Amino acid sequence: MSNMFSNLIMAVRGIGSNWLRTLLTMLGVLIGVASVIVLLAIGTGTSRSIENSIQALGSNTLTVFGSGGSGASTGTQIRNTNLNSASVSLISNANNAPDVQSVSPVITTSVTATNGSSTYTTSVIGSTPSYLVASNYTVSAGRSISTADVTSHSQVIDIGASVASGLFPVGSNPLGQQIELGSARFTIVGLLASKGSTGLTNADAVVIAPYTAVQDQLTGESQSFSELLIQGKSAATLSLAQSEVQSILAAQNDTTVAALPFNVLNQASLITTATSSSKTFTALLGWVAAVSLLVGAIGVMNIMLVTVTERTREIGIRKAIGARKSVVLTQFLIESTVISFMGGVLGAVAGIVVSRFTIAGVKPVLASYSIPLALGVALSVGIVAGFYPAYRAASLRPIDALRYE
């Protein structure tokens, strides 16, 4: 309708009659919309960083570690710890476990690494080459430890970025150099690309060596591993892989899956849990923001009621010269909608700008839905908060409105 356009112009002119008041009203909506966008971005940023720390554990992995040996066993426990070479070869067999990509035995220990006068305390992971793949380590220089290194008990290592910077001066090349882990000398054959520190653990403070060499030099000869890192073929089949592994281990140890003295950490279910808790967190932040938007809406309604009272006489004139109820209603409704929508647009801009900064250690990630959501809410705030004042204006009797001083 062409009337719509002239209504809009009329509304903007009405708004312009008291700029300060209009700006303050807009500020209410602006703050509401901006906080919706920023708080949702913080929520999204938090859950993104939690997901990243879980991703850093590897991709589609299961970690099996013994729960025995800690004294928690209650007589029914069979042999001591049974994550051994036999388990590894049983799980590696594709006929037994079709959904398993690779199995890496893991021995972890903590040592002080020494290079001349520099020392660095780091964790040492004794494993096989597949460990690097499963846990998302990439070699930035040199080479990965190899299967040949494992079989020949070679004292070679790949070192993480934090270990390299802790032991070697800036600019030097650690490749080919020897460092002491405890009392044994190991040769650096590869540097690991930095994964960044995620959360509390520093994934770069790590040394990866063939597990055979770690057993020889650091932990002593043993039949068992501290854990197995198993990579599934895909995220979708990870729980299938988990039940296959559990069945194999149960069969190997002559027990049932339920009585198995191992814990299995399923990365997929970890992500699910973390995601659902971060969703709760985001929703909570969203509610906080919604409250401030509600306050903004009350502000719009308040100002519109004042405006209607102030302009009672004008409404009377308009009705006397033939404005229908719907025309007056539309006029005031458009006015409140324009105020809150302008506040919404400015709030969206403010929200986007603020989201570019790191807030409380979290890098906010703009949720794509938050901007249309916030603008839509601002628009409906204008309509809902404006309706009652507009209806009151439209219902005024011209004779009363004209008499109003």
13 binds other proteins (CB under 8 A): yes
Coil vs helix vs strand at 121 = strand
Contacts to other proteins from residues 144-203, by CB under 8 A: none
Smallest separation (angstroms) from other proteins to the CB of 393: 13
- For residues 15 and 219, give the distance between their C-alpha atoms in angstroms, rounded to a whole number: 78
Pairing of β 61-66 and β 227-232: antiparallel
- Write the CA distances from 395 to 315, 323, 355, 401, 404, integer angstroms: 10, 12, 44, 10, 15
Residue with Cβ nearer other proteins (236 or 399)? 399
- Quick note: the x/- pattern for other proteins over 15-54, rule CB under 8 A, is -xx-------------------------------------
- Contact range with other proteins by CB under 8 A, out of 2-10, 23-31, 50-58, 198-206: 2-10
What number of CA atoms fall less than 13 Å from residue 383's CA on the CB side?
6
**From the CB of 314, what's the least distance to other proteins, in Å?**
6
Please state the closest distance from residue 296 (CB atom) to other proteins, in A: 26
Rounded-to-integer distance, Cα 120 and Cα 165, Å: 10
Longest CA span, the chain: 104
For residue 233, what are the CA distances in angstroms to 63, 112, 237, 386, 403?
15, 36, 7, 57, 82
Tell me which residues in 308-347 interact with other proteins (CB under 8 A). Answer: 313-314, 316-325, 327
Position among 6, 89, 147, 309 found at the interface with other proteins (CB under 8 A): 6
Count other C-beta atoms under 10 Å from residue 359's C-beta: 14
Shortest separation between residue 394's beta carbon and other proteins, angstroms? 9
Q: How far is the CB of 22 from other proteins (least distance, A)?
A: 13
- Interface region with other proteins, contact rule CB under 8 A, candidates 11-19, 148-156, 218-226, 269-277: 11-19
3 counts as binding other proteins under rule CB under 8 A: yes
Query: Could you tell me how many residues of this chain bind other proteins (CB under 8 A)?
Result: 24
Nearer to other proteins, 65 or 391 (CB): 391
Residue with Cβ nearer other proteins (122 or 330): 330
8 binds other proteins (CB under 8 A): no
| Sign of CA pseudo-dihedral 60, 92, 109, 161 | negative
* Smallest separation, CB 386 to other proteins (Å): 20
Residues from 211 through 240 that contact other proteins (CB under 8 A): none
Q: Tokens for 339?
A: 């105020």
Segment contacting other proteins by CB under 8 A, of 8-16, 33-41, 118-126, 380-388: 8-16
Tell me how far apart the alpha carbons of residues 188 and 156 are, in angstroms, rounded to a whole number.
6
CB of 300 to other proteins, least distance (A): 21
- Smallest gap, in angstroms, from Cβ of residue 301 to other proteins? 23
Cα angle vertex 199, ends 60, 56, to 5°?
20
Shortest CA distance to 180 belongs to which of 153, 150, 149, 159?
159
Instruction: Give, as one character, the DSSP assignment of residue 168.
Output: S
Residues 364-403 that bind other proteins (CB under 8 A): 397-399, 402
Q: Is 279 in the site for other proteins (CB under 8 A)?
A: no
Which one, 62 or 334, has the nearer CB to other proteins? 334
Shortest separation between residue 4's beta carbon and other proteins, angstroms = 12
Tell me how far apart the alpha carbons of residues 132 and 210 are, in angstroms, rounded to a whole number: 11
Residue 143 φ/ψ region, left for φ over 0, alpha for ψ in the -120 to 50 degree band, beta for the rest? beta
Binding residues for other proteins, rule: CB under 8 A, are: 2-3, 6, 13-14, 16-17, 313-314, 316-325, 327, 397-399, 402
